[in-house]
Structure 1
Amino acid sequence: MLVALTSGARFVKGLLQSASSRYQKLSLIGKALIWFILFFYLCSAAFIVVVTPARIAQFTYDFAQDIRHLSYGYTILIIIMIAVSFPPFIGHTTLLNLFGFTYGLRGFFPAAFGSLAGSAIVFVTLRIMFSKRLRSWTSTNEKWQALEAVIRSRGMPLIILIRVSSFPPWAWSNSLFASIAPVSLFQFFMATWFTLPKVMVYVFVGSRIARLSDGEQRNHMDTQTKIVNGLLVVGGISISVLASSLVYHLMQKEIKRLHDSPSERDELAAEALEAAEEAPLLGSDSLSSP
C-alpha cells in the first residue's frame, strides 16, 4: 500500500512538473487560453452549485436515455470517440464514462471498438499526412533516432508499456506512436488492446454513476444500496488511479534504466521519452502543412 501511495505521489509530482514546464513554453496567447479554460471551469463549478448537482445529473441521465433509445445511438458516440482520438482534442475518458452512463456494462463493447478504431485511424492518417516531415525530422534528431533504435530492439514489451502509460494523454499518445517510424500499425493496434481493461473500468464507473443520477432509481434505493454504489464508483476510480500510478512507476524505471545504461544510444532514447512533446507530430505546429 505504501509503495502504491509513493508511486501515486510521484505520478502527481511528475504531472505537475510537466504541466509547469509546458506552461512556461507557451506563448502569451497560449497562456491566456489556459487562464480562460481555468475561468471556464470555475464558472462551471459555480453553475453546478447554483443549479444543484441532482438536477444536472437528472438532465444528463435523461439525455443519455434519449441517446440509448436511438437506433443509431452507438454510432453517434463511436464517431465522437474517433474524433476526440485526434490531437489536440480531449475527452476520451469522459466518453468512456458516457458509454457506461448510457448503456451500462454493455457499453464496453462499443467503447472498446471506438477506442481501437479511433486510434488506428489517427495512426494511419497522421502517418500518411506527415510521412515526408517525419523522415526529415528524424534524420536530423539524434534523440529520436536513438528512441527508434531502442524500440526496434526491445519490440512489443516497450511499445505496450508506453501505450498503457497515462502520459501522454490518449490523443497525444496516438500522435506519438505515429511519429515513431519503427512502430507498425499492427504493433500499435495490438498494444492498444492492452488499454481495454482501463476502458472497462471507466465504463463500469459510468454505469454506477448513472444509477445514482436518476431520481426515480435513487428513490427506490435504500441507504445501504446507495452506499454500495457510491463505494463501487470510488473503488473503480481508485483502481484506475493505482493502475496508472503503477504503469507510470514502471515507465520511470525503464527511463532510469536507459539513463544508467553505458550505451549512449539508450541515454538519448531516455531523453527522447522524457521530452515526448518534441515529437514531430506533437509540436505546436504539428497540424501545419508538412
Structure 2
Amino acid sequence: MAAGPAGSLWAFLKHYGQAALNRYRKLHFLGKVFIWTIILFDICIGAAVIIVTPARIAQFFHDKAKIVAATRLGWLGTIAVMVCVSFPPLIGFTTLVTLCGFAYGMQGFYIALAGSVIGSAVVFSVLRLLFSKRIRAWSAQNEKWQALEAVVRAKGLPLMILIRVSPFPPWVYANSLFASIEAVRFWQFVVATVCLSPKLLLHVFIGSKMAALADGDERARMDTRDKVINGLLVGGGIGITIFTSWWVYKLVQDHIRHLHGLPSETDELAAEAIEEYEEDAPLLRSLSPEIDHRDNRSVA
C-alpha cells in the first residue's frame, strides 16, 4: 500500500522535472541566461538571509505587515494587488494569500477570498471579452483542446471544481484556462473559485502562525512548548498543502482519463491538454506577438 502512493509521487515529480528540463533546453541563449540570473538572485537572497539572520528579517516583515494592517484601506490595496497578479503570466498569488494571514491573522481569510473571487472574475471577463474569436479559431485546429472542451461540457461544474482546486495549472494559468473553454459559464467559474475556500483558509492559517513566530516580542513570551507547537503547525500546514495538492491533481487526471460516456482517446487528450496547458495555451499565445509571427509564417 505504501509503495503505491510513493511510486505515484515519484512518477509525478519525475514527469514534471523532465518537462522542466525539456523546456529549459528549448530556450534560446537569453532565456537560459535569464533562468540562471534568477538562480543567482535566489542564492544571493539566501546568503543575505544567513548574514542578516532570519529573526531580524522576520521582524522587519512583521512590522511592515502590521503597518499595512493598521492602514485604513490597506485591505483594499491588498485585494487590488491580488487582482493584478491574477493576470498571466504574473506570479505571487499564493504568497499574497499567506501574507493576508501574516498581516491580518485569520481575519485575512475574508480578504483572501474576496481578492481571489474578484481577481479571477476580472481576468475571466477581460480575457473572454478580448480573445473569444481567437479562442474559437485556435481550438478548431487543436485536437487536444477540442477533447478538453468536450470533457468539461459533459461533466460540468463538478469537474470544473476539481480542476480549480488542483495545483496544475497554477492560479494565473487556471484563470486563462477556464476563460479559454467556451463551455465554461461565468457563474460556474465563480462557484468553482469559491470552492477554493478551504485551500485559502489553510494558507491564511499558515501565515498567521508564521506571524506569531516572526514577532520578537510575541516569541519572547512563548515558552519552548508553544514555539514547538507553532513551528509544527506551520510545517504541518505546508505538508498538508503539498500532499493535498498532489492528491487532487492525481484525482483530476484519473477522473478525466476514466470518464464514462466518452471515448478513451478523448479522455486521454483532455488530460494531456491540462498537463501541457502552460506550453500551448491559446490566450497566452494570443498575447505573444513573437509566437503569432512564427505561427503565421508556418501557415504561409
TM-score over 0.5 for the alignment?
Answer: yes
Q: Does 1:153 align with 2:160?
A: no
Q: Against the structure 1 CA distance between its residues 15 and 223, is the aligned structure 2 distance closer, same or farther, given a 3 Å change threshold?
A: same
Q: Against the structure 1 CA distance between its residues 231 and 264, is the aligned structure 2 distance closer, same or farther, given a 3 Å change threshold?
A: closer
Cross-structure match for 1:205: 206
Residues 91-130 of structure 1 mapped to structure 2, 5 A cutoff = 91-130=92-131
Counterpart amino acid of residue 47 in structure 2: A
Cross-structure match for 1:231: 232
Deviations 1:4-59 (A, max 9, x none): 54444344333323322332333332222111111111111011111110110000
Cross-structure match for 1:164: 165
Q: Does 1:36 align with 2:37?
A: yes
Deviations 1:105-128 (A, max 9, x none): 000001111011101111111111
Q: What is the CA–CA distance in structure 1 between the aligned matches of 2:263 and 2:154, rounded to whole Å?
A: 16
Q: What is the CA–CA distance in structure 2 between the aligned matches of 1:121 and 1:171, rounded to whole Å?
A: 12
Q: What is the CA–CA distance in structure 1 between the aligned matches of 2:268 and 2:46, rounded to whole Å?
A: 44
CA contact (8 A) 1:126 1:175 kept: yes
Structure 1 regions of 5+ residues with no counterpart?
Answer: none
Q: What is the CA–CA distance in structure 2 between the aligned matches of 1:287 and 1:188, rounded to whole Å?
A: 25
Q: What is the CA–CA distance in structure 2 between the aligned matches of 1:203 and 1:263, rounded to whole Å?
A: 40
Cross-structure match for 2:298: none
Q: TM-score w.r.t. structure 1 length?
A: 0.92
Q: Give the match's secondary structure for 2:168.
A: coil
Counterpart amino acid of residue 222 in structure 1: D
1:129 Cα offset (Å): 1.4
Cross-structure match for 2:91: 90
Q: Against the structure 1 CA distance between its residues 229 and 7, is the aligned structure 2 distance closer, same or farther, given a 3 Å change threshold?
A: farther
Deviations 1:131-163 (A, max 9, x none): 121121112222211211121111112211111
Counterpart amino acid of residue 282 in structure 1: L
Residues 1-290 of structure 1 mapped to structure 2, 5 A cutoff = 2=2, 5-257=6-258, 262-277=263-278, 278-283=280-285, 286-288=287-289
Q: What is the CA–CA distance in structure 2 between the aligned matches of 1:143 and 1:124, rounded to whole Å?
A: 24
The percentage of aligned residue pairs carrying the same residue is 52
Q: Against the structure 1 CA distance between its residues 167 and 132, is the aligned structure 2 distance closer, same or farther, given a 3 Å change threshold?
A: same
> Greater shift after overlay, 74-83 or 273-282?
273-282
Q: What is the CA–CA distance in structure 2 between the aligned matches of 1:281 and 1:233, rounded to whole Å?
A: 37
Counterpart amino acid of residue 279 in structure 1: A
Q: Against the structure 1 CA distance between its residues 141 and 250, is the aligned structure 2 distance closer, same or farther, given a 3 Å change threshold?
A: same
Q: Give the match's secondary structure for 1:282.
A: helix
Task: Count the aligned residue pairs.
Answer: 288
CA contact (8 A) 2:148 2:271 kept: yes
Q: What is the CA–CA distance in structure 2 between the aligned matches of 1:197 and 1:263, rounded to whole Å?
A: 32
Deviations 1:78-123 (A, max 9, x none): 1111111111111111101100000000000011110111011111
Counterpart amino acid of residue 276 in structure 1: Y
CA contact (8 A) 2:209 2:233 kept: yes
Output the aligned Cα RMSD. 2.1
**Following superposition, which runs of at least 4 residues in structure 1 exceed 4 angstroms of deviation?**
3-7, 287-290
Q: TM-score w.r.t. structure 2 length?
A: 0.89
Deviations 1:196-220 (A, max 9, x none): 1110000000000001001111111
Q: What is the CA–CA distance in structure 2 between the aligned matches of 1:263 and 1:220, rounded to whole Å?
A: 60
Q: Give the match's secondary structure for 2:284.
A: coil
Q: What is the CA–CA distance in structure 2 between the aligned matches of 1:91 and 1:28, rounded to whole Å?
A: 26
CA contact (8 A) 2:144 2:273 kept: yes
Bigger RCO of structures 1 and 2 (CA < 8 A, at least 6 apart): 1
> Greater shift after overlay, 183-192 or 261-270?
261-270
Q: What is the CA–CA distance in structure 2 between the aligned matches of 1:127 and 1:237, rounded to whole Å?
A: 34
Counterpart amino acid of residue 236 in structure 2: G
Q: What is the CA–CA distance in structure 2 between the aligned matches of 1:266 and 1:209, rounded to whole Å?
A: 42
Q: Give the match's secondary structure for 2:287.
A: coil
